[in-house]
Amino acid sequence: MKKILVVDDSSVQRKMIIQIIRKAGFQHEIMEAGDGLEAIGVLGENFEDIGIVLCDWNMPNMNGLEFVEGVAQVPAVAAVPVVMVTTEGTADKIAQAKAANPNMKGYVIKPFTPEQLKEAIAPILGMS
């Protein structure tokens, strides 16, 4: 079973997101990163195992948009699907991120329910 990488600068947010992942019924192993830069490192070392990245937008060092742009430029990891988890729910920002990385497969707007998360990620993990 593939792993899920949760990227958020707030450890409290990461815990909440992980709780919601569990409540939604996903039993995948979960990895964590505190910003986009750390996530690039984790992804680089584990890209064969990671089936999806749930990525926050606002983070220090490397934000979510910079992260998806970075991922798109590295062939080894460019195919790993990224779902943005964000309060930045404007159509403009989402279109911007999708343009930057065709592997940005969707988004969920905070706060979200286990059902909303499931809808966004189950098809990507081949579980719909």
Note the residues at the interface with Mg ion (CB under 5 A): 9, 56, 58-59
What is residue 65's DSSP assignment? H
Which is nearer to Mg ion, 25 or 90 (by Cβ)? 90
Q: Closest separation between CB of residue 55 and Mg ion, Å?
A: 10
Q: Which residue is nearest to Mg ion (CB)?
A: 58
Residue 8 vs 69, nearer CB to Mg ion: 8
Could you tell me where the beta strands, DSSP code E, fall in the chain?
A: 3-7, 30-33, 50-56, 82-86, 104-109
Could you tell me the smallest distance in angstroms from the CB atom of residue 20 to Mg ion? 16
**Cα pseudo-dihedral 50, 54, 60, 65, rounded to 10:** 100
Nearer to Mg ion, 86 or 101 (CB): 86
